[in-house]
Structure 1
Amino acid sequence: MNTDDLILISVDDHVVEPPDMFQNHLPAKYKDAAPRVVVAEDGSDVWLYEGQQLPNIGLNAVAGKPHEEYGIEPTTFAEMRTGCYDIHDRVKDMNANGVLGSMCFPSFPQFCGQLFARTQDKQVALAMLQAYNDWHVDEWCGSYPGRFIPLALPPVWDPQLMAAEVHRMAAKGCRAVTFSENPEKLGWPSFHNEHWDPFWQAVSDTGTVVCLHIGSSSQLTITSVEAPINVMISLQPMNLVQAAADLLWSRVMTEFPLVRFALSEGGIGWIPYFLERVDYVYEHHQAWTG
């Protein structure tokens, strides 16, 4: 087969949300509370929400740039390739790269909607999160049907609301939802707790895939304060190795066997050793660990 004939489907892309994304999706009473883009003192474009400035990190928008220009410094929309935030230019870039379909993870709300979870007024939080999901499905993905895999954010502060949002988004054709690789690190119950059962049931009932992206616990593996950043970057996928072990030995897999997980940006090279290790644990330790 000629490589030009290959079709690529990318399930770990990212979107830099455009400044006008909330404009068409919020009830009038919430519009003044919506996140908005302002220019910071350093000249970068930042999202302003509840008094907090949330920068567009340069590393989230490196498409088309040489490696020498990568970095974590705040940036502006003008410095980005327009395909980072403009859906029409994104599709042009996808066509040029031979990418048929794409799933896009969020940027400023964080990977499982932690930003909205921190909102004091939870009615406002839910309105913002649902507006985000509606924009993502209706405008970002809906502008080019069949080219994008919709991905919803969950209202992680309330499992019943999570279940309702999974069903609401499934009715719109969205069959993927983000979640944390380790919710306990965010101050919520762990995978092993019954707290999340309404969510597991909802994703089981709707056939929705739960996507765990590295960094969705807001935790990084840092060996020491003296270690160079390369150490942290090298160990980032290990978050998902921990998540895989956590889930494999959890009640989720036995009590909700239809739940499907995607470990996003974790690679696959570790999987053979992981399988060997968990088999060893089962064969040698299950008798006493239960």
Structure 2
Amino acid sequence: MRMEDMVLFSVDDHLIEPPGMFEGRIPKKFEHLEPKFHHGENGDNDYWMVGGRRTVYMGSNAVVGRPREEYGFEPSALSQLRPGCYDIHARIGDMNVNGVAASINFGTLAGMAGEPFLSIPDKDFALTVVQAWNDWHIEEWAGTYPDRIVPLSNLPFWDPELSAREVRRVKAKGCNVISFPPNPVLHGQPSFHTEHWDPVWKACVEENVAICIHFADSSYAVPSPDSPVDAMISCMPIGLYRVAADLTWSPVLRKFPDIQFALSEGGAGWIPYLKERMDTTFRLHSQWTRQNFGDKKPSEIFDRNVATCFIDDPIGIKIRHAVGIQNITWECDYPHADCTWPESADRLWRDLQAAEVPDDEIDLITHRNAMRIFNFDLFKLRKREELTVGALRDQARAAGVDTTPMKSGSGRPPSDSEQGPVSMRDVAKQLGARNEAA
């Protein structure tokens, strides 16, 4: 196999919700509350009005296409972003130039799993907003290119019965993937360790819907306000270690043996240690902790029900069999700072070759595992040869997709000081100033 022959399925990318996405999707009784997009003064600080509340429009970390010296967390207006962040046609062009055949896209206004909609006081209206967002994603964002974009939906997770019904509703519309918060307790909801969520898990199993858990809470990743922002960036993916352990030790995977979870943006290299540590914990402590996995080990339950993904993880590729060759997938993370656009295929190919990965396993990692886990047939509407890295890049060249770095000048440094590393305090101060301006 050559690099140009790979087929890339990115299981974790992001979108910036565009203006007008809610138009025609809100019932008449709520039309006075319909979410509206507003451009800020001077083309800065765009924002949404949702349910009468002003929500700062955050293109947070949507820095793809900028020179690296302009990376940061501050993007706050569409004018500061590459169009592929919010325009589906431009997104396909950016996927083509990167050699990416298929993509799962999480929201920004909606958070990673619809968490912001939980704060809407009128829960009937909140449900309407969740469903309108889901319908837009399924019908317009993904529906415009059903051969390339995988539909994803959020849940009204303040109510498990409503959530279960939403799983079935979006499944009927062709959506096989939902997103769920990594720790519902942080949002005032019950944990994985209760029966509260059983209606949701049952619906997902019966409908063959995969559940993505994307890291979202950075509080545990910031030792102090003085910590360099680099420390937080380094720690964010490993936060899913905690979620994976909590989920494996919960009753969920044993009670619903056919359920499918996917850890989004967590990396892969740490997975073998987690599995080893859980098995050691079970062997040494289960007698007094009263854990019962029957004739299986925690690692075997994890392997059966939980998938993972990586962006740029050479060690994870090298130890892929310890990670779980049937459960490891690849992601691009467009348009965030960790993505390697437009060189993702090149970087991935380099690491696959360094690890001497055979062709059949390259196919598993790059697309076949993802096709199975997320119930999305890449080759239903297009032939394989039309979706390879080489074929897609040929399309991008023919279309003239421009990858020239955007020197917009909007990449304002978080700190006025040029001395020492940027700290978390600097970033918090910058974001706070932007919120006040909005």
TM interval, short-chain normalised:
over 0.9
After superposition, residues 179-190 of structure 1 pair within 5 angstroms as 179-190=180-191
**Aligned counterparts of 1:27 and 1:178: Cα–Cα separation in 2:** 25
**d(CA) in 2 for partners of 1:57 and 1:84?**
9
2:149 aligned counterpart, secondary structure: coil
Alpha-carbon distance change, 46 to 220 in structure 1, aligned in 2, over 3 angstroms: farther
Asked if 1:282 is matched to 2:258, the reply is no
Distance (whole Å) between structure 2 residues aligned to residue 138 and residue 51 of structure 1? 26
Quote the offset at 1:146 in angstroms. Answer: 1.5
Shift of 1:128: 0.7
Letter in 1 for 2:58: N
Contact between 1:58 and 1:70, CA under 8 Å: does it hold in 2?
no
CA drift at 1:185: 1.5
Please tell me the residue identity of whatever aligns with 1:54. V
Counterpart among 45, 55, 58 of residue 57 in structure 2: 55
Query: What secondary structure sits across from 1:194 in the alignment?
Result: coil
Normalising by the residue count of structure 2, what TM-score does the alignment of the two structures yield?
Answer: 0.64
Q: What amino acid maps onto 1:145 in structure 2?
A: P
TM-score, with structure 1 as normaliser:
0.95
Q: Which residue matches 2:108? A: 107
**Partner SS for 1:244:** helix
1:122 is the counterpart of 2:123: yes
Aligned-partner Cα distance in 1 for 2:67–2:276: 39
Query: Offset at 1:261?
Result: 0.6
Q: How does 1:253-264 map to 2 (within 5 A)?
A: 253-264=253-264
1:150 is displaced (CA, Å) by 0.8
Query: Identity rate of aligned residues, in percent?
Result: 45
Change (3 A) 1:139 1:220: farther
- Per-residue CA shift, 1:185-231, capped at 9, x if unaligned? 2211111011111111111111111100011x574422122212111
Partner residue in 1 for 2:265: 265
Shift of 1:45: 1.2
1:210 aligns with 2:218: no
Question: Following superposition of structure 1 onto structure 2, how do residues 1-290 of structure 1 map, counting pairs within 5 Å?
Answer: 1-40=1-40, 43-49=44-50, 50-59=52-61, 61-215=62-216, 217=217, 219-290=219-290
Shift of 1:26: 1.8
The answer to which of 68-77 and 247-256 deviates more is 68-77
Q: Is the 8 A contact 2:47 2:54 kept in 1?
A: no
Distance 2:117 2:111 in 1: 9
Larger RCO of the pair (alpha carbons < 8 Å, separation 6+): 2
Q: For each residue in 1:148-199, what CA deviation from the matched residue of structure 2 results, as whole angstroms up to 9, or x when unmatched? A: 1111000010000000000000111111100011111221111101111111
* 1: CA distance, partners of 2:13 / 2:126: 25
Provide structure 1 residue ranges, at least 5 long, that are not aligned to the other structure.
none
Aligned-partner residue type, residue 141 of structure 1:
A
Per the alignment, do residues 218 and 152 of structure 1 end up closer, same or farther by CA in structure 2, a change over 3 Å counting?
A: farther
Deviations 1:54-77 (A, max 9, x none): 222341x22211221111114221
Structure 2 unpaired stretches of 5+: 291-438
* CA distance, structure 2, for counterparts of residue 125 and residue 58 of structure 1: 23
Check 1:15–1:220 CA distance in 2 against 1; reply closer, same or farther (3 A cut). farther
In 2, distance between residues paired with 1:269 and 1:250? 23
Counterpart residue type for residue 64 of structure 2: A
Asked if structure 1 preserves the Cα contact closer than 8 Å seen for 2:84 and 2:90, the reply is yes
Letter in 1 for 2:54: Q
Cα separation, 2, equivalents of 1:143 and 1:189: 37
How far apart in 1 are the matches of 2:107 and 2:100? Answer: 19
CA contact (8 A) 1:10 1:102 kept: yes
> Given that residues 133 and 153 in structure 1 are in contact (C-alpha distance below 8 angstroms), is that contact kept between their aligned partners in structure 2?
yes
Provide the C-alpha distance between the structure 1 equivalents of 2:197 and 2:3, rounded to a whole number of angstroms.
44
Alpha-carbon distance in 2 for matches of 1:114, 1:214: 12
Tell which deviates more after alignment, 279-288 or 33-42. 33-42
C-alpha distance in 2, partners of 1:58/1:278?
35
Residue type of the partner of 1:120? P
1:9 is aligned with what amino acid? F
Amino acid at match of 1:46: Y
Give, as a single letter, the amino acid of the residue that structure 2 aligns with 1:130.
Q
Deviation at 1:32, TM superposition (A): 2.5
Q: Is contact 2:15-2:86 (8 Å) kept?
A: yes
Query: What RMSD over aligned residues (CA atoms) do the two structures have, in Å?
Result: 1.4
Q: Which amino acid aligns with 1:79?
A: Q
- Alpha-carbon distance in 2 for matches of 1:224, 1:64: 31
Kept in 2: contact 1:56–1:108 (CA 8 A):
yes
Contact 1:204–1:258 at 8 Å: present in 2 too? yes
* C-alpha separation in 2, matches of 1:58 and 1:277: 35
